[in-house]
Amino acid sequence: MDSEAEFRRLYQANRVAVHAYLVGRDIGPQPAADLLQDVFLRVWQHLDEVAGMPEDRQRAWIFTVARNLSVDAYRRQHTRAATEQALAHEPARPPAPVSAAVLAAERVAVVGEAIRRLPEQQRVTLVLAAAGELTSAEIAAALGVPAGTVRYRLSLARRSLAEALGHYDDPEEER
Amino acid sequence: MSLDDDLAAWAAAVRLPGAEADAIFRRIIATPVPVPGPVAVPSLAPSWWRDFSAGFAARMIDSTRPARRAA
């Protein structure tokens, strides 16, 4: 077996989805990139074992590793965040000039914040679909849940997101 | 702007850049893969049975002797 070619195939087939999953676990962008490396390092170290599996089992194996590593990272991250929050004295920021780029960035931030506020299962499912480029069936196989559950979570997540963006677009709506 | 457009814009912002993904790939394949060797089965030291047999025999012999009375 050409180890590097096999690993490249596994990496290319799964890296976007695994990164999306880690982003969906809400551990921050840099920890997500670092964890992606840790996940695929495990794949590389267990290549003989993983390469011998059927393709759907390979993805499930990789996602199990990603889930286990992200649980540890989540705990570390939240312990650190609590400490930093206790110590932080953020200075007031000067008002930024409003431009189209700023508005677009602000809207992306609003979407990101709305996604962060989703319940974890909905958030992970939505991020796997939106950023991970997976279909409902692929998400179901990766997470080990029925495809119907994935579609239901996606529907709830999209509804919550649409409501959050509705409030952003029309703040008077609720009054 | 539709919800799908918003999600696509957000996804583009959080997606790992290709250059960074390539750098991660290169760092990983530079790591040596552990070569699977023969599985080490924990075993007793070669002298264990000899010591065990000697100790066992000594205790058997001791057990056949009458117990000494306390003075």
Question: 């930024």: which residue's tokens?
Answer: A96
Q: Locate the chain B residue with the closest alpha carbon to A107.
A: B6
Lowest-confidence region among A13-27, A98-112, B6-20: A98-112
pLDDT in tens, A57-71: 999 999 999 999 998
Instruction: Say if the Cβ atoms of B14 and A131 lie within 8 Å.
Output: yes
Mean of pLDDT over chain A: 86
Dihedral over Cα of A22, A23, A25, A26: its sign: positive
The CATH code belonging to domain A92-175 is 1.10.10.10
Q: Determine contact, residues A14/A36, Cβ cutoff 8 Å.
A: no
Instruction: Say if the Cβ atoms of A131 and B20 lie within 8 Å.
Output: no
DSSP single-letter state for residue A173: G
This model of the complex carries an ipTM of 0.77
In this complex, which of A4, A23, A126 lies closest to B14 when CB atoms are compared? A23
Residue A61 is encoded by which pair of tokens? 């194996």
Task: Report the predicted TM-score, pTM, of the whole model to 2 decimal places.
Answer: 0.72
Instruction: Say if the Cβ atoms of B21 and A45 lie within 8 Å.
Output: no
Which CA distances in Å does A155 have to A99, A138, A148, A160, A162? 33, 16, 11, 9, 11
Which CA distances in Å does B65 have to A4, A14, B58, B59, B60? 72, 75, 11, 10, 9
The CATH code belonging to domain A1-90 is 1.10.1740
